[in-house]
Amino acid sequence: MAQRRDVSIRLPRRKFLTGLATVAAAAGTHELAFPAVVRAQEPIRIGQLIPFTGFLGAIGEYGKQGATLGVEELNEKGGVLGRKVELITEDEANPGVAVQKARKLIEKDKVVAIEGLVSSASCLAVGDEVQRARVLMINAGANSDEIRSKRCHRYVFSTEGCNTQYVSAIGNWLIRERKISRWYFLTSDYAFGHDLLRVARNLLMANKGTEVGSDLAPTGTTDFSQYITKIKAAKPDLVFHNLAGADVTNFLKQYAEAGMTLEVAGGVIDSAYAWPVGESLRGHFPIIWWHELNTPASRAWAARYVKRWGRPPDNQAYGDYVAVHAIAQAIEKAKSTDSAKLVQALEGHTLTAAMDGLKGRPLTFRAWDHQLLQPMYVVAARDKSKWRDKWDIFEVISEVPLPGESLETIAIPKAESQCQLEPLA
């Protein structure tokens, strides 16, 4: 066998270093910066954790679409700090899987921030993880007050509303406008539901109302007949559900099929789970955003979403879209992708007019618990005879608080919060 010749070109070490120094000088730095030149062209990576499976899975695709549209818009305008933005999406599935995926995003994909989450249990677990890793996270879909209170973290922000915001919006409206004070609670038996029940009970008690019954339903319940029978026997003025995901769809469908005429409301509702109820939908609900909000920015974004994806955006699509833009604004403001600097940029930050939450009024992250202050909307199920299309299921009854009123009025009061943010370092 012929001996293989080594035909590689060997440069003397001094010439090699001189060449690197020339590249560095051209790049405007005195470092041996060839790797840095390559890194400067790398995209800014944002991680997304969103459910695609389980009883919350139906809203995962909406969340992915909302975040994707946000990234596409940023890149069409030249990206952020002159760099393209890349979205890396993972299925949050459950708390254990969500933490594993978060570690993968942080350690392998080198994301500058994580956004998304829907399950409060997953969000709490991932919140602990990002605080340990000191990587920014924006919660775009989990509602539990605990995330903003006793389990708050310096590196965790929330564009999604908390249970107190939702319940304050719908509960005060029901008591003031509907004069309804005898409530029956039906609650999802996990972290989100328990917290929502606590908040709703506190509001009812504060208004001297009466709890006439309460049930906990396992997540993923498909047959609500036993609960509906108990509700009918208790004869409340209102059925207040603290359900989530597909459980909302199943309960509201079966409630109507059972011929129930008692007033029904909920602490939170996702339009993705209300649309499948169709003409059986009834009641009043609080929602963070609706695609027919009458603000120019909101209508324009909804139109862009429909053009891109062929259907209206639900509230989870909205939440992830806003979170992506909030991360981009933080990077632009900090002129950095360093998480500690991004946290400082967001604390007390008001979303810019270019992306004010699509609600036509300034929205600000509170510096002491990182909750985005924003209005909610009380919506009522619209009679099918008034539908323009199958998506036209809600009518906006009221913005809460009303324009001109403080957004603090529906948020967790500082005196009642247990939030103690860690030092930044």
Query: Looking at residue 40, what is its pLDDT?
Result: 53
pLDDT tens, N- to C-terminus, the chain (425 residues) = 444 334 333 444 444 444 444 444 444 443 334 444 444 579 999 999 999 998 899 999 999 999 999 999 999 999 999 999 999 999 999 999 999 999 999 999 999 999 999 999 999 999 999 999 999 999 999 999 999 999 999 999 999 999 999 999 999 898 888 888 899 999 999 889 999 999 999 999 999 999 999 999 999 999 999 999 999 999 999 999 999 999 999 999 999 999 999 999 999 999 999 999 999 999 999 999 999 999 999 999 999 999 999 999 999 999 999 999 999 999 999 999 999 999 999 999 999 877 889 999 999 999 999 999 999 999 999 999 999 999 999 999 999 999 999 999 999 999 999 999 999 97
Q: Does a structural domain hold residue 218?
A: yes
Q: Does a structural domain hold residue 11?
A: no
Q: Does a structural domain hold residue 343?
A: yes
Listed in sequence order, the DSSP H helices in 235-291 are 246-257, 271-274
Q: Are residues 331 and 392 in the same domain?
A: no
Sign, Cα dihedral of 307, 269, 63, 339: positive
Q: Does a structural domain hold residue 36?
A: no
Global confidence as pTM? 0.88
Q: Does a structural domain hold residue 268?
A: yes
Q: Are residues 371 and 382 in the same domain?
A: no
Show which of 350, 375, 400 is a domain's final residue: 375
Q: Does a structural domain hold residue 58?
A: yes
Q: Are residues 387 and 267 in the same domain?
A: yes
Of 175, 230, 197, the C-alpha closest to 400 is 175
Q: Does a structural domain hold residue 367?
A: yes
**286-299 per-residue burial string, b: 16 or more CB within 10 A, e: under 16:** bbbbbbebeeebbe
Reduce the DSSP state of residue 38 to 3 states and report it: helix
Q: Are residues 156 and 171 in the same domain?
A: no
Query: Looking at residue 7, what is its pLDDT?
Result: 38
Query: Looking at residue 316, what is its pLDDT?
Result: 97
Q: Are residues 56 and 150 in the same domain?
A: yes
Q: Are residues 281 and 297 in the same domain?
A: no
When divided into structural domains, the chain yields a total of 2
Q: Give the DSSP H or E segment for 227.
A: helix 225-234
Residue 197 sits in a domain of what CATH number?
A: 3.40.50.2300
Residues 6+ apart with CB under 8 A from 294: 396
Domain hosting 192: range is 164-291+376-408
Q: Are residues 154 and 259 in the same domain?
A: no
**101-128 per-residue burial string, b: 16 or more CB within 10 A, e: under 16:** bbeebbeeeebbbbbbbbbbbbbbbbbb
Q: Are residues 185 and 133 in the same domain?
A: no
Show which of 331, 353, 375 is a domain's final residue: 375
Q: Are residues 83 and 104 in the same domain?
A: yes
Q: Are residues 343 and 314 in the same domain?
A: yes
Q: Does a structural domain hold residue 3?
A: no
Q: Are residues 358 and 398 in the same domain?
A: no
Q: Are residues 93 and 153 in the same domain?
A: yes
